[in-house]
Amino acid sequence: MNKWMMTFINCLLTTLVFSQPVVKENDEWMNFIHGIAESTGNEQDINNLYEELSQIHEHPFNINRIKREELERLPFLTDEQIENIQAYLYISGPMKTIYELKLVKDLDMETIKLLIPFVYIGDPPKADEAINWRQLLRRGKSRLYFRLDSNPDQKEGYRSPVDSTDTNKYLGSPLYSFVKYEFNAGNKLQMGFLVEKDAGERIRDGFRSFHLLLKDVGRIKRLALGRYKLAFGQGLVMNTNFSLGKNIIATNIASRPEGVSRHNSTDELNYLQGAAVTLDLHNHYVSAFASVKKAAASLDDSIISSLKTDAYFNTENDLKQRNNVTMYLVGMNWQRRFGRFKLGTTALCYAFDKRLSPEIRRDNYFAFRGKENANLSVDYQYRFSRLFFFGETAISRNGSMATLNGLHVNATSSFKTSLLQRSYSKSYHAYYSASFAESSRTENEQGLYWGAEWHPYRFWKVSGYTDIFRFPWLKYGVSAPSSGFDGLLQVDYSPGEKLNMYIRYRYKEKEKDRFGEDVLYKTEKYNTQRFRWQCEYGALGQLLFHTTVDYNRYKEESGEPGEGFAFTQSVSQEWKKVPLKIDMQLMMFDTDGYDNSIYSYEKSVLYAFSIPSFYGKGYRWMVNARYNLSSRLTFWLKYAQTVYSDRDVIGSGPEEIRGNQKNDLYFLLRWKF
C-alpha cells in the first residue's frame, strides 16, 4: 500500500484515540455550496458564490440592523423568510439571542443552521443616528491575506529551456500566489486591493484589482469606484455576479439582483471598471454606471476573431492576446416599489474598439458581429398572499427578444413549488447577461421548469425538479436543432445535529453529433444518470464524519454504456484546548472514462473552493489544517495527493505530468488588525 495512504490511516487512528472533546464549527453553508456545485456546470459561478459567502462569513451582519438587500445576498433564504425576519424585528423588536430565530415564521432548523454563520446579535439602530466617520474609520477592521499554492510535480510547460522558442512553454514559476487586503468600516465603507499571480505567470503579468464601495450615506445607496459588479432584474441584460440556475434548492429560482456591489474576488473576467452609483430619489432607486476595461482577444487584421474565455497569461501565445481590445459600457437602471408590486427597467450600450467578427460556421450563424450593441429590459415582481410572480423581458439592438417568467407558490408550511418559463431568441445578443438557462449563454433556448419541496414528516424532506428544454438553432457540436430533459430527486433525513443523510438521483438527456460514415449532420441522444448517498454523523462524541457513495452511468444511443463509482470518507476534528482544526479525506474511484467523471468536494484553505473531478482508476487523499496562532493571526495548510493505477502520464500538453501521481500544496495566512 502507498506510504501516503498509510500515513492518512495512521493520522485517522491517532485522532480517534487521542482526540479532545470537539467544538463543532457550523459548516452547513459549505455543504450548501457543495450541493449546488454538483448540480451546476458553471465552475466560475460557484467560485464567485463561494467567495461572496466567505466574505459575508468574515464580516457577518448585525441581525438587529439587517436590511432586505443584505438578506437577499443569502441565496438559501426564500422571499417569504426574508419578509418574515423583517416582520419579526418590526413587531417584536431587537433580538436578544440568536435562538430567537426559532420564533420566526416559516424559518425551519435547516435554514437557521445555514443562517447563523452570517449574522450576530448587535445593538439596534438608534433614531436619527448620525454617521460619525471619524469613529467609523478608527474602528474599521482590516484583513490581510497571503496565499501560496504549489504543484511539486514538474509539468511539461516548465521543462523547456529558458531560451526555447516554444511559444507554449510557461514563462513564470509554477507557484500560484495572491495578496489581498480588505478594510471594512461598519459596512458603510469597504475598500481593498488584490494582487494575484497564476501558476506559470510572471509576477509582472499577474492580475491587479482595486475597489471602493460606499453604502447608505444620505441619498447615496451605493457608490462604487474601481472594479465593481452589477446585477439587475433576472439577469437577461446585466449580471456580472453569479447565476445559480438549477440547483438543490428546487423552488428558489428567482434571481436576487444586488444592484451595485464591489468586485473583490480573483475572477478576472466578470467585472466592470469605472464608477457606478445608486441614488434613493424618494423611493425611486436610480442607478447609473460607466465602465472602460481591457479584454484579451485573438486578432486577424485588426478584427476580433474571438474573445479569450480564460484568464491565464503564462505563455507567449497568451500574452499576444492580452489587452488587445477595449470595451466601453454606459447604462442605467430604475426601480420602484408600488406596495406589493415592484417594477424595474435596465438600459445599456456597450461597444468594442474593434469589430468583432468570428469565423462564420453553421452553429454560430446568428452570433453577434459588429462593434456596438444595446439592450433594454423591463422586470417585475408581484406578491399576493402565498403567490410570488417574477420575470423580465429584454430586447437587443437587432430587435431580438428574450423573456423569463416565473411563479412561486408557498402552498402550505410543508409544501411549496415553483414554475419557470423561458424563451431566448437565437439572435438575442447580451454580452453581460447571465440568467436561468441550460446553456452557458442567454440565447437560442426555450424551456419549462417545475420544482417542488415537501416536508411529509418531521426530519424528512423531499425535493426535486424537472426541466424540459429545446434549442431552436444549432449549437457547437450539435448540427441540428435539439432538445433535452433534466430531472433531479433528493430525499433528506435530518433527525438531529449528529446525523444528516440524503439520497439524490439525477437524470439528464441531451443530443450531440453522431460521428461515422454517412452520418454527416445527424445527431443522437445520450443520457447521464447520477446517484449519490451521503451521510454526516458524529461519533464518540468527538468526531464528525462524512461518508459518500457515488455512482453514474453514461449511455449513447449508438454505443455501450459506461459506469463510474467512487467512495469518499472524510473526518473533521476541532479541539477545545488547542486552536486547531483538521479535516482529512480519502476517496477511491473507478470509472470507465471521461464521460463518467466523478465530482467530489473537499475542504481547502479559505477562499479556495475545491470540487475536482476524476476519471479512470485510483485514489486521492488530503489533509487540511487550520491553526489560530493568536486572535488576529490564522493560517491554513493543505496537502493532497492523487494516485492513478491506469496511467503513467497525467494531463496533456504543457500541463502533462510524467508519472501516475499528482501532488498539491496550499497555504494561506490571514492577519486581522
Q: What is the pLDDT of residue 171?
A: 92
Q: What is the pLDDT of residue 108?
A: 80
- Compute the average pLDDT of residues 95-107: 87
> Which residues lie below 8 Å from residue 477, measured CB to CB, with a gap of 6+?
363, 512, 513
Instruction: Render pLDDT for 335-357 as a digit per residue (tens, 0 to 9).
Output: 999 988 999 999 999 999 999 99
Distance CA 230, CA 240 (A): 6
- Compute the average pLDDT of residues 492-497: 86
Q: What is the pLDDT of residue 23?
A: 38
pLDDT band at 11 (very low <50, low <70, confident <90, very high): very low
- Compute the average pLDDT of residues 156-168: 73
Q: What is the pLDDT of residue 518?
A: 63
> Which residues lie below 8 Å from residue 311, measured CB to CB, with a gap of 6+?
198, 207, 267, 268, 269, 296
Question: Is the predicted pLDDT of residue 362 greater than 80, yes or no?
Answer: yes
pLDDT band at 27 (very low <50, low <70, confident <90, very high): low
Instruction: Render pLDDT for 250-273 as a digit per residue (tens, 0 to 9).
Output: 888 888 888 999 998 888 999 999
Burial of 275 (0-12, 13-18, 19+ CB in 10 A): middle
Q: Are 554 and 569 in contact (CB under 8 A)?
A: no
> Which residues lie below 8 Å from residue 622, measured CB to CB, with a gap of 6+?
583, 584, 585, 602, 603, 638, 639, 640, 641, 664
Integer Rg of the chain from CA: 25
Distance CA 635, CA 206 (A): 24
More confident residue, 599 or 467: 467
> Which residues lie below 8 Å from residue 521, measured CB to CB, with a gap of 6+?
479, 480, 513
Instruction: Render pLDDT for 590-612 as a digit per residue (tens, 0 to 9).
Output: 999 999 999 888 889 988 877 88
Q: What is the pLDDT of residue 507?
A: 97
Distance CA 403, CA 235 (A): 11
pLDDT band at 535 (very low <50, low <70, confident <90, very high): very high
Q: What is the pLDDT of residue 509?
A: 97
Instruction: Render pLDDT for 317-335 as a digit per residue (tens, 0 to 9).
Output: 999 999 999 999 999 999 9
* 3 state DSSP class of 113: helix
Count of alpha carbons within 13 angstroms of residue 554, beta-carbon side? 14
Question: Is the predicted pLDDT of residue 18 greater than 50, yes or no?
Answer: no
Question: Is the predicted pLDDT of residue 9 greater than 60, yes or no?
Answer: no
Residue 131 backbone dihedrals phi, psi, to 5 degrees: -85, 120
